[in-house]
């Protein structure tokens, strides 16, 4: 591979990692759609800053875009606070409006500038290694500028999360408690929004606006399915993001297609894998555990049924093996299987036509009915 | 007194319900005759709401079955009125008290017919019975909690049902509304209807209901209040902390 | 001077966007009421891969073929969103964001891939994003009119069902309705509208057109029927106004964004000026409510000073206690009307038991004192 290709892979990985870090908190705080809105509205910030400064490379662009991200969130929350419009609708109102304003401004005044919409949507990652987009100090080629920008954003995200780890953790899981012990959930929220906005702007340049959302949500959500610990999630999400970036680049090479589109597709693939195969949380292991639990549940159901009707006048009817299925409304075959299983496990005994609980079966029934106080038997006292 | 009907209001046998393979109700048997008011009592998470919803056929049980008024739940639905918990709906919905009461007549209208003058009259009558006539055209968010509950009840009345299943109708309402509701329930009973009411105030059980079902994942006891509503049964349902004042 | 209608096809453009606005206003109302405002956004983004696959497979730009592809992709997207939040602990917002962006990304990938094989896909992307309302012809308007008639009749035919599942799904199920089935039905109608609109106005506008007219209409009425009708009207007016303004001779703006901005302006005006919920109205009512409460508090504290709530005071006394004496008389009338105060003797007023009760439990205040 050429140096340029390595540089693209590095930039893609940095972008994915930088996005997935704040993404973890967005997923946990159910704010991912806000990032969708932000990634659209930063365009207006870029346009505004461009018209004010007349340059497409000035740091004002990032500042303008980031403040537009914050403004979006403030606007959404303001509309929501009026109680006239709910959150989902408020988001659905704000970002199309701001995005449309940006598009309109571009088409009105930006016809002669190089701010074309395709690159806004697709990003320009493939162009990053080209001459003129490189950082050179004293004739020393230090690589693409975008790599340095993305690297600093990643670093900023890391520093923010490390410094405010405690605050972020507490305000994410229990804002009321966080407030009570003197943390400022509002401030943490704002910090996160600023972080998301800045990351969106930088990533926007590389991978385009809508794919930022993929990199913020998919790796973080996949990590969420793989672990229960916040710290591990923060470790896993960037790794999965990097994997998506590398796989996406490969895919794009093979198909000779858009790198950012392929990265988003790969991120979706990574999430799909986690969704299907994650241990304990994945669809397949849930299904297996469900099967196992259903079998165990049926054993307890039989035990409870017998327990409830033993030594009652209805015993004659309810505990007969051959009519049991009518009462439990199981198929005869299923009933037979469950009875066999219970016999094997030593939970019931056959006595002529009747089924009777063994001591173990009785214990199981009581544990089920009175969790934690198995000694209690109904009707005592 | 109306003559004793041939069927029980509710027959539940060996009903087990689970949520994601975790049991919520264990092997419940219940026989509730018609023409009485039944309180369903138990601690949080005892499966009271689940019981009602399973009886209605909204939840498919893992085992066992329910029959309503001697029929399968599907066939009996036209004679059953369900009053969900007040918190489960969106009170900002663009609807007036009359609109909500009118929904009670939808079951009779079939798929395509629209409510007409007759249905409107029935809805208005139902509102009148709960004392909400003067609020008929108010948006439902602009009603107090007690008034919202009355509107829900009016909707149930408009269903002209024989069996009423109510989930916590006394929650978060004022004393006046509570008294009016009880009065209305008694009136329904005197006309031969049956009501199953999920209830959480243990003090008033004896006063309000003829029967009580004590529930905690399994059925602890069910029967006439004076026989079944004993300290021992309450202890069995609620554990050691019986919140009964006296 | 050029006039609007001398422009070729402007009539069909305005007609098409008006129909589209009407349709999305009607169906968007249900989406907003069911708190699914953003589902439309997700679906419309997710249609991209469907359109491109249809283009690649059938090698045609026939709008019906592309619409078919978009429909399939939209339906799959809905299922994926519901499936992810149902079968894992990932919440609905994240599952929407993932499906939206990943489908869209896959669409972009396919698009760039297709561009090497067939150059005619070139202009597809910007068109998908912002639509090309200006190219709407009478034939497109006819298709839209047909869809409007079909969707509107279905909505009217199943009005009861749609109302019930939007307001109280539990109760709907207790009437024997298949709630899940009706929800899918409603979502499919939404997919039809979105797909019909993509060609004309693009992704971003489509989501705005579903949400904004409904939100605006909700501010003006408390009845579902009126809301749906108004939303349709708002949508239609914004659609045609945007088309006309955007194609103003000498201006030539992209139609989609212009429509979004117009419909957003309608929302803003509604939020501020609506007589039912409008912010202006709320502020003035809040001020009146506070004033009334203050008069009641004064009555109560003065009566308490005499050890009996029966003890009455006259208007002049109350006005002397008030920061805004001119309003006291009206407030007092209001209190008497609500049964919170009464005239114990001619010219003498005291709080009632209810009035005292209300002061002691302020959470009751809002509902009672703001008729």
How far is CA A359 from its chain centroid? 47
- In degrees, to the nearest 5, what angle opens at C-alpha B34 toward C-alphas B32 and B38? 55
Interface touch B103/C167, C-beta < 8 Å: yes
Q: What is the pLDDT of residue C1?
A: 39
Which CATH architecture best describes the domain C280-369? Orthogonal Bundle (1.10)
- Residue B13's alpha-carbon distances to B23, B29, B236, in angstroms, are 16, 4, 21
CA distance B168 to C276: 32
C286 Cα to chain A: minimum distance (Å): 13
On the question of pLDDT at A310 being above 80, the answer is no
Q: Please name every residue paired with A320 in a beta bridge, in sequence order, or none if there are none.
A: A354
CA distance C217 to C235: 10
- Residue A318's alpha-carbon distances to A352, B31, B219, C101, in angstroms, are 14, 16, 17, 56
Interface touch B23/A297, C-beta < 8 Å: yes
User: A373 to chain B: which residues are within 8 Å by CB?
Assistant: 239
| Domain annotation for chain B: domains and CATH numbers | 10-90+160-238 (3.40.50.300)
Helix (H), strand (E), coil (C) string for chain A: CCHHHHHHHHHHHHHHHHHHHHHHHHHHCCCHHHHHHHHHHHHHHHHHHHHHHCCCCCHHHHHHHHHHHHHHHHHHHHHHHCCCCCHHHHHHHHHHHHHHHHHHHHHHHCCCCCCCHHHHHHCCHHHCCCCCCEEEECCEEEEEHHHHHHHHHHHHHHHHHHHCHHHHHHHHHCHHHHHHCCCCHHHHHHHHHHHHHHHHHHHHHHHCHHHHHHHHHHHHHHHHHHCCCHHHHHHHHHHHHHHHHHHHHHHHHHHCCCHHHHHHHHHHHHHHHHHHHCCCCCHHHHHHHHHHHHHHHHHHHHHHHHHHHCCCCCHHHHCECCCHHHHHCCCHHHHHHHHHHHHHCCCEEEECCEEEECHHHHHHHHHHHCCCCCCCCCCCC
The answer to whether C361 contacts chain B (CB < 8 Å) is: no
- In degrees, to the nearest 5, what angle opens at C-alpha C187 toward C-alphas A31 and C32? 50
> Per-residue pLDDT tens for B1-32?
455 567 888 888 888 888 776 778 888 888 89
The answer to whether A108 contacts chain C (CB < 8 Å) is: yes
Interface touch B95/C160, C-beta < 8 Å: no
Residue pLDDT tens, chain C, 371 long:
344 455 556 778 888 899 999 999 999 999 999 988 888 889 988 988 998 888 888 777 677 778 888 899 999 999 999 899 888 889 989 999 999 999 999 998 888 888 776 555 455 666 677 677 767 778 788 888 999 999 999 999 999 999 999 999 999 999 988 988 998 899 889 988 998 888 777 887 888 899 999 999 999 998 999 999 999 999 999 999 988 888 777 777 788 888 999 999 999 999 888 877 777 776 776 667 777 777 777 777 777 777 666 777 778 777 777 766 777 777 788 778 777 788 877 778 888 777 776 776 554 444 433 33
Residue C223, both tokens = 């009845």
Residue to substitute from B59, B71, B94, interface C, most C β-carbons within 10 A: B94
CA distance A210 to A35: 10
> Per-residue pLDDT tens for B215-241?
888 888 888 888 888 888 888 888 755
| Domain annotation for chain A: domains and CATH numbers | 3-217 (1.10.3470.10), 285-369 (1.10.10.10)
B231 Cα to chain C: minimum distance (Å): 34
CA distance A241 to A217: 10
Q: Three-state SS for B134?
A: helix
What's the mean pLDDT in A274-278?
A: 92
Q: In which element (H, E) is residue C304 found? A: helix C279-305
The answer to whether C368 contacts chain B (CB < 8 Å) is: yes
The answer to whether A220 touches A24, Cβ cutoff 8 Å, is yes
Tokens 């500042």 map to which residue? A63
CA distance A188 to A179: 11
Q: What is the CATH number of domain C4-274?
A: 1.10.3470.10
DSSP string, B51-68: HHHHHHTSS--SEEEEEE
Low-confidence ranges of chain B (pLDDT < 70): 1-5, 21, 240-246
As to burial, measured by CB atoms within 10 angstroms (0-12 exposed, 13-18 middle, 19+ buried), residue A57 is exposed
Interface touch C104/A108, C-beta < 8 Å: no
Interface touch B29/A308, C-beta < 8 Å: yes
C357 Cα to chain B: minimum distance (Å): 12
Sequence-distant (≥ 6) Cβ neighbours of residue A136 within 8 angstroms: A142
Interface touch C277/A84, C-beta < 8 Å: yes
Interface touch C98/A218, C-beta < 8 Å: yes
Residue C369, both tokens = 């004192």
CA distance C160 to C179: 12
Beta strands in chain B (DSSP E): 10-19, 22-32, 37-41, 63-68, 80-83, 163-167, 194-198, 211-216, 218-224
Interface of A with C in 339-378 (CB under 8 A): none
Q: Please name every residue paired with B38 in a beta bridge, in sequence order, or none if there are none.
A: B196, B211
> Per-residue pLDDT tens for A209-226?
778 899 999 999 999 999
User: B61 to chain A: which residues are within 8 Å by CB?
Assistant: 329
CA distance C83 to B155: 34
Residue A270, both tokens = 């990574």
The answer to whether A195 touches A24, Cβ cutoff 8 Å, is no
Q: What is the pLDDT of residue A377?
A: 36
The pLDDT-based confidence of A114 (bands split at 50, 70, 90) is low
- Residue C131's alpha-carbon distances to C58, C121, C126, C257, in angstroms, are 22, 14, 7, 10
The answer to whether A265 contacts chain C (CB < 8 Å) is: yes
CA distance C247 to C249: 6
Q: In which element (H, E) is residue C103 found? A: helix C92-117
Q: Three-state SS for C244?
A: helix
> Per-residue pLDDT tens for A315-370?
666 777 777 777 777 788 888 888 888 888 888 888 777 788 888 888 888 777 76
The answer to whether C105 contacts chain A (CB < 8 Å) is: yes
CB-closest option in B89, B95, B142 to C224: B95
CA distance C110 to A252: 10
On the question of pLDDT at A284 being above 80, the answer is yes
Q: How is chain C split into domains, by residue range?
A: 4-274, 280-369
Smallest CA-to-CA distance from B152 within B205, B51, B81, B92 is with B81
As to burial, measured by CB atoms within 10 angstroms (0-12 exposed, 13-18 middle, 19+ buried), residue B84 is buried
CA-based R_g, chain A, Å: 30
Domain C4-274 shares a fold with domain C280-369:
no
Residue to substitute from C160, C230, C275, interface B, most B β-carbons within 10 A: C160
CA distance B98 to C245: 43
The answer to whether B39 touches B199, Cβ cutoff 8 Å, is yes
Tokens 């307001």 map to which residue? C167
């Amino acid at each position: 591979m050429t140096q340029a290709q390595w540089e693209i892979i590095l930039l893609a990985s940095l972008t994915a990692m930088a996005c997935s870090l704040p993404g973890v908190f967005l997923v946990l705080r159910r704010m991912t759609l806000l990032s969708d809105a932000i990634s659209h509205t930063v365009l207006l910030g870029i346009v505004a800053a461009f018209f004010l400064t007349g340059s497409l490379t000035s740091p004002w662009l990032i500042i303008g875009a980031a403040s537009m991200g914050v403004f979006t969130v403030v606007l959404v929350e303001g509309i929501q606070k009026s109680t006239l419009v709910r959150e989902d609708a408020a988001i659905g109102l704000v970002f199309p409006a701001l995005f449309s304003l940006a598009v309109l401004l571009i088409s009105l005044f930006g016809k002669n500038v190089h701010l074309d919409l395709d690159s806004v949507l697709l990003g320009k990652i493939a162009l990053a290694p080209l001459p003129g987009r490189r950082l050179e100090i004293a004739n020393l080629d230090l690589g693409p500028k975008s790599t340095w920008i993305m690297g600093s954003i990643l670093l900023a995200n890391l520093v923010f999360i490390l410094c405010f780890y405690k605050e972020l953790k507490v305000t994410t899981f229990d804002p009321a408690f966080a407030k009570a012990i003197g943390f400022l959930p509002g401030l943490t929220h704002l910090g996160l929004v600023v972080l998301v906005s800045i990351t969106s702007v930088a990533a926007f340049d590389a991978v385009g606006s809508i794919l930022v959302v993929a990199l913020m949500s998919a790796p973080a959500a996949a990590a969420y399915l793989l672990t229960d610990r916040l710290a591990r999630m923060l470790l896993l999400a960037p790794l999965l993001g990097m994997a998506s970036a590398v796989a996406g680049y490969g895919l794009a090479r093979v198909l000779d297609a858009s790198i950012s589109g392929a990265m988003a597709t790969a991120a979706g693939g990574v999430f799909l894998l986690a969704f299907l195969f994650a241990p304990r949380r994945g669809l397949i292991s849930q299904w297996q555990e469900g099967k196992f639990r259903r079998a165990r549940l049926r054993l307890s159901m039989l035990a409870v049924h017998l327990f409830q009707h033993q030594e009652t006048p209805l015993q004659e009817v309810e505990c007969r093996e051959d009519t049991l299925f009518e009462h439990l409304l199981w198929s005869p075959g299923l009933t037979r299987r469950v009875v066999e299983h219970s016999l094997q496990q030593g939970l019931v005994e056959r006595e002529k036509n009747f089924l009777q609980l063994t001591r173990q079966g009785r214990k199981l029934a009581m544990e089920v009915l009175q969790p934690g106080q198995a000694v209690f038997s109904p009707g005592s006292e | 007194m109306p003559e004793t009907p041939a069927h029980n209001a509710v027959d539940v046998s060996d009903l087990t319900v689970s949520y994601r393979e975790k049991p919520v109700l264990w092997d419940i048997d219940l026989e509730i005759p018609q023409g009485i008011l039944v309180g369903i009592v138990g601690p949080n998470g005892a499966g009271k709401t689940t019981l009602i919803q399973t009886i209605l056929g909204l939840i498919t049980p893992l085992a066992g079955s329910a029959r309503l008024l001697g029929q399968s739940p599907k066939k009996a639905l036209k004679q059953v009125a369900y009053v969900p918990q007040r918190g489960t709906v969106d009170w900002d919905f663009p609807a007036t008290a009359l609109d909500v009461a009118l929904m009670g007549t939808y079951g009779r209208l079939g798929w395509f017919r629209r409510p007409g003058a007759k249905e409107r009259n029935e809805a208005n009558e139902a509102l009148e019975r709960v004392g909400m006539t003067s609020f008929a055209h108010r948006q439902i968010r602009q009603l107090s909690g007690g008034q919202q509950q009355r509107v829900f009840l009016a909707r149930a009345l408009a269903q002209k049902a024989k069996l009423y299943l109510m989930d916590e109708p006394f929650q978060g309402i004022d004393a006046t509304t509570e008294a009016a509701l009880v009065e209305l329930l008694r009136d329904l009973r005197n006309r031969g209807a049956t009501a199953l009411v999920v209830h959480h105030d243990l003090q008033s059980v004896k006063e309000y209901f003829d029967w009580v079902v004590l529930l905690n994942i399994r059925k602890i006891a069910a029967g006439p209040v004076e026989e079944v509503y004993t300290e021992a049964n309450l202890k069995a349902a609620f554990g050691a902390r019986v919140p009964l004042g006296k | 001077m050029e006039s609007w209608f001398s422009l070729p096809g402007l009539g069909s453009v305005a007609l098409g966007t008006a129909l589209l606005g009407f349709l999305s206003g009607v169906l968007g109302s249900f989406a907003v009421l069911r708190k699914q405002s953003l589902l439309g956004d997700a679906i419309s983004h997710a249609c991209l891969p469907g359109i491109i696959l249809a283009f690649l497979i059938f090698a045609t730009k026939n709008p019906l073929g592309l619409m078919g592809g978009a429909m399939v992709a939209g339906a799959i997207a809905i299922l994926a969103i519901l499936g992810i939040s149902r079968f894992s602990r990932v919440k609905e917002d994240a599952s929407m964001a993932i499906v939206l962006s990943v489908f869209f990304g896959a669409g972009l990938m396919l698009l760039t891939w297709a561009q090497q094989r067939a150059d005619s896909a070139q202009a597809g992307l910007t068109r998908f994003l912002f639509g090309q309302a200006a190219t709407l012809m009478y034939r497109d308007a006819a298709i839209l009119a047909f869809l409007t008639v079909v969707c509107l009749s279905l909505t009217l035919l199943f009005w009861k069902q749609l109302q019930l599942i939007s307001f109280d799904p539990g109760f709907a199920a207790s009437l024997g309705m298949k709630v899940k089935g009706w929800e899918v039905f409603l979502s499919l109608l939404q997919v039809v509208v979105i797909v019909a609109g993509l060609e004309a106005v693009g992704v971003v506008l489509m989501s705005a057109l579903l949400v904004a007219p409904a939100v605006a209409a909700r501010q003006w009425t408390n009845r579902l029927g009126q809301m749906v009708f108004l939303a349709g009207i708002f949508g239609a007016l914004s659609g045609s106004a945007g088309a006309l303004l955007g194609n103003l001779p000498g201006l030539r703006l992209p139609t989609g964004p212009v429509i979004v901005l117009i419909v957003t302006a309608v929302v803003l005006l509604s939020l501020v000026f609506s007589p039912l919920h409008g912010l202006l109205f709320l502020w003035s009512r809040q001020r009146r409510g506070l004033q009334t409460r203050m008069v009641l508090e004064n009555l109560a504290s003065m009566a308490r000073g005499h050890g009996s709530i029966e003890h009455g005071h006259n208007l002049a006394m109350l006005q002397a206690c008030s920061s805004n004496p001119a309003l006291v008389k009206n407030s007092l009338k209001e209190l008497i009307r609500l049964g919170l105060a009464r005239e114990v003797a001619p010219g003498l007023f005291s709080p009632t038991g209810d009035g005292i009760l209300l002061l002691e439990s302020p959470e009751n205040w809002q509902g009672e004192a703001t008729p």
